[in-house]
Structure formats: structure tokens, C-alpha cells
A and B are shown apart, each in its own frame.
Chain A
Amino acid sequence: MDKNILPPKPKKSLYKKIKYTLITLAVIGIYVWTFLGIDINWGRAIERVINNFGNIIPKLFSPDWAASGEVASMMMETIFIAFAGTLMASILAVPLGFIAAKNVTNRFVGTLGKWVLSANRSFPELILAILFIVAVGPNAFAGVLAIAIHSTGMLGKLYAEVIESIDMDIIEAMESSGANKIQILFFGVIPQVIPEFLSYAIYRFEIDIRASSVLGIVGAGGIGTMIIFASMNRNWNEMGLILLAIIIVVTIIDMISSRIRRKLV
């Protein structure tokens, strides 16, 4: 803008200038590195898609109904995996959440606990599933364990945050009336946190349904097993039905879950 018309802009501090310059350089750097490094074989991708498009897309939209029985039973297995995994996690996460809450333990343990829990979350379910497959064999139980461990991290951290946000006045009132620690826990803390705990656990179930539907790709059970076979056999009609099944089940569960959660909180 013209200096003759307007008074000068207030000077930005040196610290801010350096900060903005560094951020800009970092962003530019990341993009340069990305576009120099990535290697996409456009020719082959285009050639493949021209050959394959007609073979795949129309078939996805005409599902192979003959596979309905198998898809239904595998979808049930997917739901079982997610359910067992989420429930295991939602129980395991309770003690962990209490340990990671600053107002229950102390600042140091709390911070450390949350750190461990979110580190756990950074571990993709599928990688965990691979590890558990090596341990318990390629079956649905490996999937349950993978879901359980991954979800425990996430839920533990969320639980800890809920516990940290509770109303401490009630606890003080109970202490002053002579209640002991266990009594305070059961009558002062738990009633306050239960609805939110449940709400988070149910929300986690929504996420885990999606996660467990792909576990089969590495051999950990559920509908994913069919996905990998359908893609290997290039059976795109069956893939269409699987896709439809996932969309329907996930949508229904999301709807039920959000209705329950709205009632809870």
C-alpha cells in the first residue's frame, strides 16, 4: 500500500519476522523436496487406467449378489472384532486414564502417561495386527488384540482429559464430610466421568468398525480377507458387494452411535 497515503505500519518484532521467514522457508523446502523426490510413472498409470477402467468401474456398480451369504458372515466377524477390541480397550483405558490424569497422580506422571498413551496411538493398527499375527497366527483374534491396543492409547488419553476437567468442588465437599479415597472415587469422580467415558468408547467403536474392516488385508480376520482375495482374483463384482456392505454397516453404526451419544451427554 502507498506510503504517501497511509501512516507507516507498526513494525513487526524481529522475533516474529524471523519466525515467519523460517516457516515460509520450511514450507517451500518441504514442497521442493516432495516434488523432486516423488516419482510417478504417468505413462504407465494412464495406460493401465485406459485398459482397466471398463473392466473395473462398471463391475463395482453391479455387485455379485451370489456372494451375499459370505459377505454377511464376514461382516459379522468384522463387527465382532471391533466390538471385542473396543470393549477391551475401553476397560483397559480406565486405570491408564486415571494414572495419566494430572489431578489424580501428579504433573510429571500425568504428562509422561499421556505421552506414552499418544505414542501408542501413533502405531497404525495394521502394523500391530502384523505383529500379533506373528504371535497368535493369522486369525480374527490377532485383529481383536490390534484394535484393543491401538484404541487403549487413544481412549486412555481422552479419559485422562475428562478426569482432569471434573468439578473438584464436589470432591472437596466429600473430603470435608469425612469420605475416604475409595468413597470419593465411587461417589464423587465416577458419576461425573461415566457419561463421557461411555460416549468416547462408543465413538471409538465407530472408528474401530472402519479399522477392523481392513485388518483382513494382512490376515487378521474380517471382511478385509475377502477384499484381498477379490482383488487378487480381479473379482470386481464381488468387490462391489463388499464395498456396499461396508458402506451400509458403517452408516448404520454411525447413526445409532451418534444417537446414543447425543442422549448420553
Chain B
Amino acid sequence: MIEFKNVGLVYPNGTEGLKNVNVKINDGEFVVIVGLSGAGKSTFIRSINRLVTPTSGELLVDGENILEHKGKNLRILRTKIGMIFQNYNLVRRSNVLKNVLAGRLGHVGTFRSILNLYPKEDVALAYENLKRVNIADKLYNRADELSGGQQQRVSIARVLTQQPKYILADEPVASLDPPTSHQVMTYLRKINKTDKITTIVNLHFIDMAMEYADRIIGMRAGEVVFDGPVSEVTDETFEEIYGRTIREDDLRGGASDQ
């Protein structure tokens, strides 16, 4: 369980990333955060694995306040939280298998990982996860030979290989075309349901949020302005979150292709 208690974050340049956020995310939920760019979605997500550090309040992950974590504790926290990025963040010159195995780095000792001595089970796990996202045939290809959608699937395999309890996805489909976007979201949704991994996704496409989320959290200017199940969300809700009327580019479209 992840719990934000009066969390605030002020960046060194004075901008407020988060303002008095109070949110409780239960195990197994699929939560989508929506809001305009700059609304604090990214800051919210990155606070959970401490890529950014909130400056006030408490952030509890499995009952522990993670804001105090440093060094080893911080790395242990991060091993149980997987992350997916907008730009896939793969090592472009390394092959797919090596990229996926990088998900094990937090579990494997420095020495073993540097000598490429991954336990057999880890290699098997990596391969299994590549099969799950249907990209096992690209095992030995270099990451930069793959299309955007394929790279994002590799990064999902990497996260799965990490065997996390939580998955954070920061705008995972912003760089993809509509059909590929739906493919990626479908994988994330499937993983959430079968593996029971709590998943938190940032999106700015309203239609996708409605299609895949269990629960939607709306953010504006660092504040949570809406929090509720999808069934309660209407067009008016989004207009309130965005502070303006809904436009064509707030929709991803292409859902009918599925």
C-alpha cells in the first residue's frame, strides 16, 4: 500500500511540484493519473521511488516512511518498484537480453553483475518475460534496431524481470502511435490483473484513461483535484481537471482498432 500524507514538494528554484497531497493507493489497483503537462503527475510518480524527494509530509510504502531512506535502504525500496518511461530508457547499443537483465541489477551483487554472472533463474526469467510481451525473437538484437513500440515492450519485460510489487509508468505511450499505444496499455493492464502488481500510470489522454483505469486521480497545479473510480468520471470531471474544455488532442483515439 502506498500512502501520501500531506505531501508537498518545492523545487530548489521555488516552483511547487506537489501541494498537500493526500492519496491512498491499495494493493492491486490500476490507477491512472491525469492532468495537463506540468500539473505534477510526473513529480507524484517519481516521489514514490524517490527519483525526486518531497520536502514535507510523509510518504508511506508498505507502512514505512520512505522520505528518510538513503543509500542501501533506498536501493532496496527501488528494487520493489519498477518504472516505465516515456522514452523507454534502454541502453541503445546493448542487446535486448542485456537490457532486460538490467532489471535484476538491484538483486544481483555488483561483482556478479559486472562479470555478467547472472544466476540461471534470472536469465530464464528474462527470457520468459520477453515471451510474455511477444518479443522473444529479438533477444539478441540491439535495442536501437527496434521500433518504439517494441522498445517499450522490452522495457516492460525489464520491469517484469525486476519482479516488483509496484509498477510506475510515466507517460508510457506519449511517444507511440495509437495502435501501439493500446497494445502497450493492454500489456500493462494484463500484468496488473494476472500478477496482482499495483500499477500507477501517468497519461494525458482522456479516452485511454477511461478505457484502462480502475481509478482516476486528477491533478492540477500540484494538487489532487479529483480522486475516484472510473464509473464516477464524466466529461465534466475532465473539464474541471484540465480547467478548460476538452479538445481533440486530449484523445488518443484508435480504440476501435482493438
Contacts and interface: CB of A to CB of B under 8 A. Distances in A.
A and B touch in the complex (CB under 8 A): yes
B52 interface: no
Interface stretch (B40-48, B120-128, B145-153): B120-128
Interface in A1-30: 1-2, 5-7, 9-10
A10 B140 contact: yes
A6 B120 contact: no
B140 A5 contact: no
B139 interface: yes
Nearest to B123: A5
Contacts of B123: 1-2, 5-6
Interface residues on B, range: under 10
B237 to A, nearest CB: 48
B120 A5 contact: yes
Contact of B127 (A5, A9, A10): A5
B124 A5 contact: yes
Nearest to A6: B127
Size class of the contact patch on chain A: under 10
Nearest to B120: A2
A1 B119 CA distance: 10
Contacts of B120: 2, 5
Contacts of B139: 6-7
Interface of A (DSSP majority class): loop
B140 to A, nearest CB: 6
- Most chain B CB atoms below 10 A, which of A2, A6, A9, A10: A6
A1 B124 CA distance: 10
B97 to A, nearest CB: 8
Interface string B109-141: 000000000001001100100000000100110
A163 B54 CA distance: 55
A9 B96 CA distance: 12
B60 to A, nearest CB: 38
Contacts of A6: 97, 123, 127, 139
A104 B14 CA distance: 58
A10 B95 CA distance: 12
Contacts of B97: 6
A169 B123 CA distance: 55
Nearest to B141: A10
B216 to A, nearest CB: 41
Contacts of A1: 123
A9 B140 contact: yes
A95 B123 CA distance: 62
A67 to B, nearest CB: 50
B130 to A, nearest CB: 10
A124 to B, nearest CB: 37
A5 B123 CA distance: 7
A1 B139 CA distance: 13
A1 B140 CA distance: 13
B243 to A, nearest CB: 44
A9 B139 CA distance: 9
Nearest to B95: A9
Contacts of B136: 7
Interface of B: 97, 120, 123-124, 127, 136, 139-140
Given A1-B123, A5-B124, 14 more contacts: A2-B120, A2-B123, A2-B124, A5-B120, A5-B123, A5-B127, A6-B97, A6-B123, A6-B127, A6-B139, A7-B136, A7-B139, A9-B140, A10-B140
8 contacts: A2-B120, A5-B120, A5-B123, A5-B127, A6-B97, A6-B123, A7-B139, A9-B140
Instruction: Name the 5 nearest CB pairs between A and B, nearest first.
Output: A5-B124, A5-B123, A2-B120, A6-B127, A9-B140
